[in-house]
C-alpha cells in the first residue's frame, strides 16, 4: 500500500478556548482536558476564588489557562467576553431546580431557563458573531443532558430547558454551517460530582438511576471530558448539529 489514511488529530495546540461553569464538576474537568490537549483555556464562572485555584493548579501542570469572572445571566458581560474570538467555546454553566410540574414556581422557571437556555443562546450567538467577524470557523459545545431527550419525574422544568437547548443547537448548526462554525451537545447521564452526591446518597433515587443506566455504574467527570476534546478538535470536523450521548445506555430503550 503506497499510503495510509491520515489519523485524526485531537491536538488543540494554538487554539483558544472558553469554558463556562469551569470552577467545578464537568466544567472543570473539560477545562483541564482541553488544556492538556494543548489549548489556552479561559476558565469562566461566577466563583472567582475557585476559578483561580483551578487555574493555578493547571499552571502547575505546565498547561496554559486564565480565569475570567462571568455571570451567564448578564448578556452585556457575555458580549464583552468575545472582544476576541475563541476557537472553542464549551458551555458547562447550568442549573437544576426539581419539583413536581404543578408546584414549579415562576421564580424557579425563570432562573433555570435564564441560565440553561437564555444564557446558552446568547453565549452561542456572541461566539458565532465574533468568529464570523474574524472570518474563522470554530466549535461551540454545550453540556446538555440525557434529559434533553427523555422525560423524568419532577424534572419537567429541567427537561424543558434541555429539550429547548437541543432544538436551538440544531437550528444554529443549520444557520452557521457555511461559515465553518460547528455546534454540538454532550448529553451525560448522572455524573458523580459534589452537586449530585446527595442524589446518589438517596437509596430510592440511586436505585432508579441504576435501573435506567445499562452499564453497571454512574458516570464520572472523566467520562465526559474526552468527548469535549473530540468535539473541540479536528477529529470531529464533520460533526455539527449532533448530540453525543454519554448516558450509559439510558436512552437506548
Domains of the chain: 16-191+221-240 (3.40.50.720)
Q: What does the pLDDT profile of the chain (253 residues) look like in tens digits? A: 578 999 999 999 999 999 999 999 999 999 999 999 999 999 999 989 999 999 999 999 999 999 999 999 999 999 999 999 999 999 999 999 999 999 999 999 999 999 999 999 999 999 999 999 999 999 999 999 999 999 998 999 999 999 999 999 999 999 999 999 999 999 999 999 888 888 899 999 999 999 999 999 999 999 999 999 999 999 999 999 999 999 999 999 8
Cell numbers 460533526 correspond to 239
- Sign of the C-alpha dihedral, residues 213, 236, 91, 140? negative
Which pLDDT value is given to residue 198?
A: 87
Which pLDDT value is given to residue 195?
A: 81
- DSSP assigned state of 207: H
- Could you list the active site residues? 158
Which pLDDT value is given to residue 1?
A: 59
Which pLDDT value is given to residue 102?
A: 97
Residues 180, 129: contact at Cβ < 8 Å?
A: no
Residue 64: partners with Cβ closer than 8 Å, 6 or more residues away: 35, 39, 40, 41
Which pLDDT value is given to residue 253?
A: 87
| Alpha helices for the chain (secondary structure H) | 25-36, 48-60, 75-81, 106-113, 120-134, 156-176, 197-201, 203-212, 221-232
The grid coordinates listed for 197 are 452526591
Here the contacts of 156-163 (C-beta below 8 Å, separation 24 or greater) are: 156/101, 156/104, 157/97, 157/98, 157/99, 157/101, 157/104, 157/108, 157/109, 157/112, 157/113, 158/96, 158/97, 158/98, 158/112, 158/116, 160/113, 161/112, 161/113, 161/116, 161/117, 162/116
Amino acid at each position: 500500500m503506497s499510503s495510509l489514511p491520515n489519523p485524526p488529530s485531537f491536538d488543540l495546540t494554538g487554539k483558544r478556548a472558553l469554558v463556562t461553569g469551569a470552577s467545578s464538576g464537568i466544567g472543570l474537568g473539560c477545562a483541564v482536558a482541553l488544556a492538556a490537549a494543548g489549548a489556552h483555556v479561559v476558565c469562566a464562572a461566577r466563583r472567582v476564588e475557585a476559578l483561580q485555584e483551578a487555574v493555578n493548579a493547571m499552571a502547575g501542570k505546565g498547561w496554559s489557562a486564565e480565569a475570567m469572572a462571568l455571570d451567564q445571566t448578564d448578556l452585556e458581560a457575555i458580549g464583552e467576553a468575545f472582544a476576541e474570538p475563541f476557537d472553542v467555546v464549551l458551555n458547562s454553566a447550568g442549573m437544576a431546580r426539581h419539583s413536581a410540574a404543578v408546584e414549579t414556581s415562576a421564580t424557579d422557571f425563570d432562573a433555570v431557563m435564564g441560565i440553561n437556555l437564555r444564557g446558552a443562546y446568547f453565549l452561542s450567538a456572541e461566539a458565532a458573531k465574533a468568529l464570523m467577524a474574524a472570518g474563522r470557523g470554530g466549535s461551540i459545545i454545550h453540556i446538555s443532558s440525557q434529559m434533553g431527550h427523555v422525560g423524568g419525574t419532577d424534572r419537567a422544568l429541567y427537561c424543558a430547558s434541555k429539550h429547548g437547548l437541543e432544538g436551538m443547537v440544531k437550528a444554529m448548526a443549520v444557520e452557521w454551517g457555511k461559515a465553518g462554525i460547528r455546534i454540538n451537545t454532550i448529553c451525560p447521564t448522572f455524573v458523580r460530582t459534589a452537586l449530585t452526591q446527595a442524589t446518589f446518597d438517596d437509596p430510592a433515587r440511586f436505585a432508579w438511576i441504576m435501573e435506567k443506566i445499562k452499564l453497571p455504574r454512574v458516570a464520572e467527570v472523566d467520562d465526559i471530558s474526552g468527548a469535549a476534546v473530540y468535539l473541540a478538535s479536528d477529529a470531529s470536523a464533520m460533526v455539527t448539529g449532533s448530540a453525543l450521548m454519554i448516558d450509559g445506555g439510558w436512552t437506548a430503550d
